[in-house]
């Protein structure tokens, strides 16, 4: 199974608390293109992959996305450290404080709760890997937007690390898609069925 190391994949530091930015970055915790959806998507899709290599890749990336969710959670906690109810209210995030205090909940930047509708699993390796590549691109763009929204160099550093991992995941999924297409072509299998000549 997995071995859990009690350290973050990359350091999470802030120069100062910023509840307003915490309200934005929480979208990568539980928003439509965030780390929760990514981890669940990949760890679920691995069961319908036709090769051990593809299963291993989805397991590895799905597990890494859990580590990224942990980093986002740590960032939100550091950005809200010592914040008062008034600080939350001033940041337009009073509802978060009322419902969860300093606890985290899977929402997007607008407070919309996470939904399983954000992820897909069609059981078709090509469709699912294509979906995964699109998901990584959406996450990459979201990190770019977040980087633009903060002036904190420590936060930018961490977000750039996560941005880079989205790029690497996109590349790995592309390589896997090529392998799967070749595998399915050799077996004359498309759409999960054998194509007769």
List, as residue ranges, the binding site for Ca(2+): 60
Tokens describing residue 196:
């007769």
Residue with tokens 């996305």: 65
Residues β-bridged to residue 193 = 190
φ/ψ of residue 179, rounded to 5: -60, -45
Feature table: binding site? 35, 60, 65, 68, 136, 169
Feature table: binding site for Mn(2+)? 35, 65, 68, 136, 169
Tokens describing residue 130:
């294509």
Residues 159, 143: Cα–Cα separation, whole Å: 6
Residues 93, 96: Cα–Cα separation, whole Å: 5
């Amino acid at each position: 199974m997995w071995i859990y190391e009690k350290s973050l994949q990359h350091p999470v530091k802030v120069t100062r608390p910023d509840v307003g930015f915490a309200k934005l970055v929480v979208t990568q915790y539980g928003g439509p293109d965030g780390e929760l959806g990514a981890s669940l998507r990949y760890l679920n899709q691995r069961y319908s992959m036709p090769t051990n290599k593809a299963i291993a890749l989805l397991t590895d990336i799905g597990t890494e996305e859990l580590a990224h969710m942990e980093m986002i959670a740590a960032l939100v906690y550091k950005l809200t450290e010592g914040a008062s109810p008034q600080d939350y209210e001033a940041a337009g995030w009073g509802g978060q404080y009322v419902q969860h205090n300093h606890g985290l909940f899977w929402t997007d930047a607008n407070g919309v709760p996470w939904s399983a509708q954000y992820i897909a699993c069609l059981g078709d390796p090509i469709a699912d890997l294509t979906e995964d590549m699109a998901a990584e691109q959406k996450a990459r763009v979201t990190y770019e937007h977040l980087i633009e929204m903060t002036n904190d160099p420590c936060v930018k550093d961490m977000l750039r690390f996560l941005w880079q991992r989205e790029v690497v995941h996109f590349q790995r999924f592309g390589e896997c898609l090529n392998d799967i297409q070749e595998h399915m072509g050799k077996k004359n299998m498309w759409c999960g069925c054998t194509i007769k000549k």
